[in-house]
Copies of this chain bind each other. A is one copy, B any other.
Amino acid sequence: MSERQSSRKDAIRNREAVLAAADALFSRRASPEDITMADVAAAAGVGKGTLFRAFGDRAGLLRALYEARLEPIREAIEAGPPPLGPGTPPQDRVRALLDAVLCFKLDNGPLALALEDSGSDSSPYRADHYERWHGLLRAVLEQIPGLTDSDFTAHALLAATRADLVEHLAGERGIPRERMREQLAGFVAKVLAPGPRPGGTAEE
């Protein structure tokens, strides 16, 4: 899983050095904007050329880092125990999923921010990690009887966990972690709540 089949070993070594260095830099609390590619290269002890050769561009590096940090959660979702893993009742799983996303953003604030920002040309919605979250969430939502528009609902729920919103609430407004998890859970609950009449009140 961790090796690219690049033939040469120095390439692999450098790639990992860069990844490690970037990981360290983005963990140190700082505006993601303040970390330049040159910084990363220097921290990794390689030249900029190497860095770009390995990851294509800034977004590529960010993506790689993101995926790496996401790995454990992904595993937990694909084959872990409830409430994250499969075999959980849909409603619980949706809540667990969103809670996991929230916690992830809470823990990886700067990185997530950087990644979502970097989508200046390509919106965050084209990133395939988003596609994965959305696809999974939608699939689970679809199993809940009486719930329509799972596609849009999945988008809307995920939007509530956008990195910059989370960052704003946690950083600027000082809302503590547990409080935010409760609030999100409450929100999700409202959305999932078996309405008095599915589709009833929303008549245009």
A64 on interface, CB distance cutoff 8 Å: no
Main secondary structure of the interface of A (DSSP, over half): helix
Of B120, B190, B204, which is within 8 A of A190 by CB? Answer: B190
Q: Chain A 148-189, CB within 8 Å of chain B: the 1/0 string? A: 110011011001101011011100100000001011111101
The reply to whether A194 and B187 contact each other, CB–CB distance below 8 Å, is no
User: Which residues of B lie under 8 Å from residue A33 when comparing CB positions?
Assistant: 120-121
Let me know if A164 and B125 touch, CB within 8 A.
Answer: yes
Tell me which residues across on chain B come within 8 A of A60, comparing CB atoms.
none
Q: Is the beta-carbon distance between B189 and A191 smaller than 8 angstroms?
A: no
A123 within 8 A of partner (CB): yes
Q: How many residues of A contact B (CB 8 A)?
A: 48
Q: Is A5 engaged at the interface, CB distance under 8 Å to the other chain?
A: no
Question: Which B-chain residue is minimally distant from A183 (CB atoms)?
Answer: B152
Partner of A202, one of B119, B155, B180, B192: B192
Closest B residue by C-beta to A202: B189
A36 interface contact, C-beta 8 A: no
A156 to B155, CA, bound (A): 12
A127 to chain B, nearest CB (A): 11
Q: Tell me the complex Cα distance, A49–B125, Å.
A: 36
- Give the B-binding residues of A (Cβ under 8 A): 31, 33, 89, 91-92, 117, 119-121, 123-126, 148-149, 152-153, 155-156, 159-160, 162, 164-165, 167-169, 172, 180, 182-187, 189-196, 199, 201-204
